[in-house]
Amino acid sequence: MPASPSQENARRPWLFPVIGWGAFVLAAIAVGMYAESPMRAIRGAGRTAPRLPAPATDVPALLYQLGVGSVTWFAAAAGLPFIAWVARRIDLDRQRNRAIAIVVTLLIALVVASSTADYLLTFPSGMRPPVRAYIPMAMRLHFLPWAAVLGGVAVFEARRRARLAAIERERLRAQAAEQRLVALSSQLQPHFLFNTLQGISTLIHRDPQAADDMLTRLSDLLRDVLRNRDRTRVPLGDEIRYARTYLEIAQIRFGQRLTFAIDVPDELQRASVPLFLLQPLIENALKHGAGAQIRGGHVAVRATRERDRLHLQVQDDGPGFASAPVERVGLGNTRERLQAAFPNDHHISLGPADSGSGAIVRIDLPWQEDAGDSRA
């Protein structure tokens, strides 16, 4: 079976650079030939006469006076890829003195080579000036162009390395954030499991059937969580399913004292959120809402989207706050996980519910659709 063009390119990574270099040299030759002096017919073959100091009357003459088409021009066109290759292999961080020596040596070699070629090609054998008289003119004609070429390559390479360094820093930052998110998530699961097992232990003698139902739902929830154990983010639909199962487990423990409502439109199910984001917030709502009142309470979970932002709310109808809201461990952990997942691009707040009684946690996240492969 013949190889595809992409496979052929993978086998020959040098092909496109060579083609690009050839196209660059051909374009430089074409421009150099276009810049031939209008006085060529008078001077005869070659550029034997000094360049006219008069202002250029057309584009070719202007290019010629600017040095386009000179020996240095063609040499720079042919040698630029080699100079760029050398620049990419210089390690300024570890070999700064060696790098300076290489650059100086390369500059001297280029000036000497182009000056020699210019001396041999520009002047016929019988009209060549003495070498001693030619050297000052050669330095003036060849040193500054090569210094400019090397300087341009150095600036381009510095920008390229800075861009790569910024990409690498961002990759490492994202990797560190993912690892921190995994660590924070792992702190939540044992705490959640301990609280649920404690509830089962409380019911096992008083209401064995309820304890069995709670244990069944717990196994379902753990199965779902273990299925995503290597992920730091999940679709909001999965997160809502975990939250619903957790509320059903709590409802078995609280009985008729607990009611809950989940309002999440279908079009928001694919939103990407950190795993187990809602569980500590719901646990706080149960502890300070239904668990803090004899009559029980109600927990509401809601999600909305406004343009490119996702808004999540967890609300209870408990006693609320006698003073300023106090951020507890669950909310603090959630805040750290959000900072790891969405650095400086999120908002979380705890305050009195709009109804006047109870508390509400509001989370504002950037809208990101789950890709299904967010691995830690």
DSSP string spanning 231-278? BSEEEHHHHHHHHHHHHHHHHHHHGGGEEEEEE--GGGTTBEEETTSS
pLDDT at 304: 96
**Positions of CATH 3.30.565.10 in the chain:** 207-366
Report how far residue 46's alpha carbon sits from residue 121's, in angstroms, rounded to the nearest whole number: 8
What tens digit of pLDDT does each residue of 307-326 get?
999 999 999 988 876 554 55
Please, where are the H alpha helices in 35-129?
A: 40-43, 59-65, 71-88, 96-122
Sign of CA dihedral 104, 107, 111, 112: positive
Supply the angle between the helices 71-88 and 144-206 in degrees, to the nearest 10: 30
User: How does pLDDT run across 134-168, given as a tens digit for each residue?
Assistant: 888 777 777 878 888 888 888 888 888 888 888 87
* CATH architecture group of domain 207-366: 2-Layer Sandwich (3.30)
User: How distant is the alpha carbon of residue 369 from its chain centre?
Assistant: 17
The phi, psi pair for 110, rounded to 5°, reads: -65, -40
Report pTM.
Answer: 0.52
268 pLDDT above the threshold of 70: yes
Out of 1-15, 100-114, 232-246, 272-286, which region has the weakest mean confidence (pLDDT)? 1-15
